[in-house]
Structures are given as structure tokens and as C-alpha cells.
């Protein structure tokens, strides 16, 4: 029950601590386990362990304290949602552009979580020690499209595992400046917080497997596969398939290869107004849409796949751009 502390005990096999513990306590996500270790909630052979990457020996006994879930202070709000699928364990939402996913100091209400608390009436999974927010993954506030929400802890764990294993199918459609050459390719880099602007992410360098074993080197491996769906003279519609899911990944990667998303307030370069049509000059968000989402249902094992059409604002932008550029 929420608010009540619980305890798990057992014996770990050898290997990396957080992975071994995740195997021993399968109903908790690996990220949740890492957080509990860092909070000092784990003892190994009666000594406190605080390093998730610690290597352990065979026959190591453990005791893990799991604090009760913190009640969220987020209020339920009756906000319209486009729900494309729902059952007792999860729901898939086609999020409108402008809807923030999770409350933050700058957006304490009016978010997807506020809407979910109202729609699901408390029947949402826990994450990060909080009670029932249900969020498994996010898309940017100004990005439209599909995301999945967990209603049960079992579904949350199963979906989190698929995201961690990069087995979720995620296809985005973006309208970019210029026409990428070659017409399709793979972008493989490290992405991390920008050293010059903390609001932005940045490519920190090419991917090197050794970086992941070197704690002082920043950045995480990020892979995007792109291909042109439609090309004009100075713009293109590009499909981006995510192999990883880093913050702002599509936006950062397309800007990195010289083709930022039209309308992107962080990573785009403004064209002169005289070069724009009315729709482009008024387009107030990155032209990015999460068009396809596929996964294995974590409870039934059924293969699920959902598609969302390009929203009206991007359709109008395309109509203008391809009249101008054709």
C-alpha cells in the first residue's frame, strides 16, 4: 500500500549490483532500484551499499528497504485527451502539441499527469517513489503524437524493460530545413547537457563504448536512423526511427547534421521573414510528430502498434512549403 514501508531480503548472484538486484526483485524497475541504492536503502552482508555499479560476489545476502510511495500533490484536472487505446493495464494517448507531460516548477498544473489523474481516478502505476503518475516515457511539450502510459505496476515494469532494451518501435516525422544528403542514414553520437546553455542538449562527441565505462566523461549513446519521405528545394519531410531515447534526440541529431527542425525554438536557425510564407513564420513549435508507436503488451504478450496522422498545423505548413519550394 502507498505510504507503507516494505522490506525485501534474499541472496544475490555475482555481477553488477543494480542488475543483480533487479533480477532478484523483478517487480521494481532498474531505475527505481538504482535510486534506492543511492538513497542508502540497501545493505549487503550487513553493510550499507550505495554504488549501483559495484561488483558483487556469489552468495551475497541483501536487505532492501522500500519506502512507501510519496503521495503526489498534483491535482486531478478535467483536460481533454485523445485516447486511442485503453485497457486495465495501460493506455495509449495521441498527445496534442503544447501539452506538458509532467508537472514542473514552471508548469505545476495543466499537464498530462493532471489529466491522467482525473481520467484514471488514481489507477496509475508508481514511478520514482511517487504515487501513481503512470509516466513511462515522455515527449516534448511542443511535440505531438503517441505515448504509452502504465496503469499497473506490472505494466510499468514490463514497458520500462522494453524501453531499456530499445525494443520499442518509435517513428517520428519531422519537417526539416534543407534536404539531407545522403537521403537516409544513421546518426550515432553521445548526447548530454550543453556546456554553454543548460537549457539545451548537445552532441558531445562521436560514440565510443569506452565512454560508458569512464564515469567522468559525460553524455549517453544516442542513435537515430533517418530517411527522407518527401523533398522540396530547401526543406524535407524526414522519418526518424529512434534506437535510443535521449532528451531532445531527434531535434539535436537533425541540427547536428545541418538540418534543424522548422520552428524549433532551441535548435533551429531562423530564416528571414521575407523568405517565409505565413504558416512558416507563424509556426510556433518544432515540426515534430510521434507518428508510430509499437511494443509488446507487457501483460498479454500481444504485439501492439499504433499510428497517428500528421496533425493539422503540420499539414498546413507542408502545404505551404511544398507549394513554395516545388
Name the residues annotated as catalytic.
Answer: 140
Q: Which of 265-296 are b and which e, b meaning 16 or more Cβ less than 10 Å from the residue's Cβ?
A: ebbbeeeeeeebeebbbebebbbbbbbbbbbb
Please tell me the distance from the alpha carbon of residue 107 to that of residue 223, in angstroms, as a whole number: 30
| Chain center to CA of 75 | 23
Q: What is the DSSP string of 273-295?
A: GGGS-HHHHH--S--EEEEEEEE
Q: Which residues pair with 65 in a beta bridge?
A: 7
CB atoms within 10 A of CB 128: 12
What residues have CB less than 8 Å from 57, skipping those under 6 apart? 14
What residues have CB less than 8 Å from 227, skipping those under 6 apart? 183, 184, 185, 238, 239
Q: Which residues pair with 192 in a beta bridge?
A: 202
Amino acid at each position: 500500500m502507498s505510504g507503507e514501508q516494505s522490506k525485501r531480503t534474499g541472496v544475490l548472484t555475482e555481477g553488477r549490483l543494480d542488475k543483480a538486484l533487479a533480477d532478484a526483485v523483478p517487480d521494481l524497475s532498474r531505475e527505481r532500484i538504482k535510486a534506492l541504492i543511492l538513497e542508502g536503502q540497501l545493505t549487503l552482508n550487513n553493510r550499507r551499499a550505495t554504488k549501483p555499479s559495484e561488483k558483487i560476489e556469489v552468495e551475497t545476502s541483501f536487505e532492501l528497504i522500500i519506502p512507501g510511495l510519496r503521495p503526489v500533490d498534483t491535482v486531478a484536472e478535467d483536460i481533454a485527451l485523445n485516447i486511442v487505446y485503453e485497457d486495465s493495464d495501460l493506455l495509449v494517448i495521441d498527445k496534442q502539441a503544447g501539452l506538458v507531460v509532467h508537472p514542473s516548477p514552471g508548469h505545476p498544473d495543466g499537464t498530462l499527469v493532471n489529466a491522467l489523474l482525473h481520467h484514471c481516478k488514481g489507477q496509475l502505476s508508481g514511478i520514482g517513489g511517487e504515487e501513481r503518475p503512470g509516466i513511462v516515457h515522455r515527449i516534448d511539450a511542443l511535440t505531438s503524437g503517441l505515448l504509452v502510459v502504465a496503469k499497473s505496476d506490472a505494466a510499468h515494469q514490463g514497458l520500462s524493460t522494453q524501453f531499456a532494451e530499445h525494443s520499442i518501435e518509435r517513428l517520428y516525422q519531422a519537417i526539416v530545413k534543407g534536404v539531407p544528403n545522403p537521403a537516409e542514414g544513421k546518426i550515432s553520437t553521445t548526447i548530454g547537457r550543453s556546456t554553454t546553455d543548460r537549457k539545451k542538449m548537445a552532441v558531445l562527441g562521436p560514440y565510443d563504448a569506452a565512454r560508458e565505462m569512464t564515469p567522468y566523461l559525460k553524455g549517453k549513446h544516442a542513435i537515430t536512423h533517418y530517411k527522407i519521405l518527401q523533398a522540396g528545394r530547401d526543406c524535407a519531410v524526414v522519418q526518424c526511427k529512434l534506437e535510443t531515447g535521449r532528451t531532445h534526440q531527434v531535434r539535436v541529431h537533425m541540427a547536428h547534421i545541418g538540418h534543424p527542425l522548422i520552428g524549433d525554438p532551441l535548435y533551429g536557425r531562423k530564416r528571414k521573414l521575407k523568405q517565409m510564407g505565413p504558416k512558416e513564420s507563424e509556426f510556433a513549435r518544432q515540426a515534430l510528430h510521434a507518428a508510430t508507436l509499437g511494443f509488446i503488451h507487457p501483460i498479454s504478450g500481444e504485439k501492439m502498434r499504433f499510428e497517428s496522422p500528421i496533425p493539422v498545423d503540420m499539414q498546413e505548413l507542408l502545404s505551404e512549403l511544398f507549394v513554395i519550394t516545388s
